[in-house]
Amino acid sequence: MAIAFHHHQLPNGLDIVAETNDDAHTGAVGFFVKTGARDEDTPVMGVSHFLEHMMFKGTARRSADDVNREFDEIGANYNAWTSHENTVYYAHVLPEFLPRAVDLLGDMLRPALREDDFDMEKNVILEEIGMYEDRPQWRVYDTLFETYFGKHPLGFRVLGTTDSIKALGVDQMRGYFAQRYSPDNITVSAAGRIDFDKFVADVEAIAGHWEPTGATRQYDAPAGEDRVASMSDAKLHRQYIAMMCPGPGAQDERRYAAKVLVDLLGDDEGSRLYWALVDPGLADEAAFEMYPQDQVGSFYAWASCDPDRAEQVEKILLDTLDAAGPPEGDIAEDEIERAKNKLATDATLSGESPNGRMRALGHQWQYRGEYRTLEQEINRLMAVTRDDVLAVLNDFPFRPRTIVRLGPK
């Protein structure tokens, strides 16, 4: 399999990275914009996600119908997402349609931002916020971030709030777009059967004239302290419990050992939390995850259960996590090996798809400015030792922690 990595930077600062694979049958491309909720100010909370919607509403060259029709014409698997840190637009296509996909995505990233479209789409965003507010899991998730991060923008809601979206004006969105959607704040990532020289020429044709703004990101550290928030809703019939605490960031090499730790403690099947809470029927679900973000990271635990078992489930959840760390440090070698094998399988399955490799490559470059092959990633994961996992537990002892509860009483 002839796999090669390529990197080229346009004069305006836009980075182009690709992993070409002559044996692939498709190609995937993504425009990774380094902007999200953490890059917003309070008055425009939710603007990054709102902008993602507006990218599909048309450009100077294309109407909204044209955008969707042309993606369908080339048989693209396409979409976009917004997080606290990134907004990504992507398409997975047959190799012969990659130039059209690049032109489409690049044109979308210079949207018309018409006021009529803005006013209409605002109603869609408000409906989406209302839909998520009706989901207890999302209410807990949003409240957990707000409580844990406090006034730090990582605590902002990605969708924004009803008040922030209602108050948002189209000129505020245009100003945010002009600053953040700068070529020196964008990475174009691709993987699969790709002619890299042709790919660079296609990207330059659509994006080479974009003017850089020198967009930056603030890296103020969030304040860490123990916090608790409890909410009630008489309409609910389940209890929801969530916990967040510090963990390794996206640039931290300890993230590999942390992944192993998270899998053995909180995978949705076969983990310690599964056997302690889900298998005996004490909880509907229980999980432990990690968020390796830009220069900061966190661990996240979650459970839902019958309200009458709330105290018992919360105690078992926290005790299970605490028992793994110092001074006990009761992590066993066979647990680590099982976790590593599972994670390596998951990484390989994702890496066999050009779309999976395109995403991995885009995140690698945005967060660390580096390239690692799938083999290097798996080898690094498989090199994790018990001492590495215990070191993570020592460095990140699941404290300070924020706990959020939501139930009927």
Sort strands 402-407 and 227-232 into parallel, antiparallel or unpaired.
parallel
Largest CA distance in the chain: 63
Of 102, 78, 87, nearest to 39 by C-alpha is 87
Q: Is 52 a catalytic residue?
A: yes
Residue 205 pairs in a beta bridge with: none
CA distance 255 to 392: 9
CA distance 159 to 50: 7
Q: Token pair of 156, please?
A: 């902002």
Q: Residue 223 in 3-state DSSP?
A: coil
Residue 247 and residue 266 in contact, taking contact as beta carbons nearer than 8 Å: no
Q: Token pair of 42, please?
A: 């309070």
Q: Token pair of 168, please?
A: 């948002």
CA distance 170 to 385: 52
Residue 142 and residue 20 in contact, taking contact as beta carbons nearer than 8 Å: no
Catalytic residue, candidates 19, 40, 52, 85? 52
Of 193, 157, 169, nearest to 119 by C-alpha is 169
Q: How many residues does the chain have?
A: 409
| Residue 200 burial (10 A CB sphere; 0-12, 13-18, 19+) | buried
Q: Which residues are catalytic?
A: 52
